[in-house]
Amino acid sequence: MMNLFAKCLLVSTSLSPVLGAMTVNQFERGEPWTCWIWWLAVAVLLVILCWLLLRYMAQNGQKQLFEIREFERKDQELLTFLFIYLLPFVRSENATFASQWLTSVYILTIIILAIAHAGAFHFNPVMRLFRYRFYAVKNRHGMSNLLISKRDLRWPGEELLTVQLARDVFLHVDTGDSDA
């Protein structure tokens, strides 16, 4: 299972689209590249960090079998995430958030801590970029969990090899895939 620092890192990667939107916004307004290149660099770094964290956990985490009794896809919640976090920054005429870095860091830190505390790993569009799907699943004891998998779940009763990322969050380890 990941420690709090690793959880916050993984959650912070979900904010790379916000940083990318701020980059595009500043570029579109004609700001010099020195104003927006840092947002772009951090956004790209977060995407790489997400991939590395998932790969590390898949290869080095303690593996366990997870039997799925019921499941429901949760990918649709990514759209809500994108609308809530991106729209205010993209079309803002007074882009204070993008131009004042200390305010930006404070707001992003609050968002990261709130999402990490809630265990809302399924709000990560970067993981979806890497072809992961999010499922609300119930195990053989009827406990609800979040399963992150590259594979489409087709029917209940499957038993999957997983790594536990957080208390109720599991990453499906596909042994036939070299990526995370």
List C-alpha distances in Å: 171 to 3, 48, 127, 148, 150: 15, 18, 11, 5, 9
Residue 109 has pLDDT above 80, yes or no: no
Say if 179 falls within a structural domain: no
DSSP letter, residue 62: P
Q: From 11, 35, 15, select the one nearest 25 (Cα to Cα).
A: 35
Q: Higher pLDDT residue, 84 or 26?
A: 26
Report whether 153 contacts 110 (CB < 8 A).
no
Instruction: Give the number of other CB atoms < 10 A from CB of residue 119.
Output: 15
Q: What is the pLDDT of residues 136-167, one digit of tens each?
A: 899 888 899 989 999 888 888 889 999 998 88
Say if 177 falls within a structural domain: no
The reported pTM is 0.72
Say if 144 falls within a structural domain: yes
- H helix runs in 13-167, sequence order: 16-28, 33-60, 77-90, 96-99, 101-118, 125-129
Say if 178 falls within a structural domain: no
Q: What is the pLDDT of residues 19-60, one digit of tens each?
A: 887 788 788 778 899 988 998 999 999 999 999 999 999 999
Say if 180 falls within a structural domain: no
What range does the domain containing 142 cover? 4-172
Q: What is the pLDDT of residue 5?
A: 78
Report the distance separating Cα 52 and Cα 174, nearest Å. Answer: 16
Q: How many domains does the chain have?
A: 1
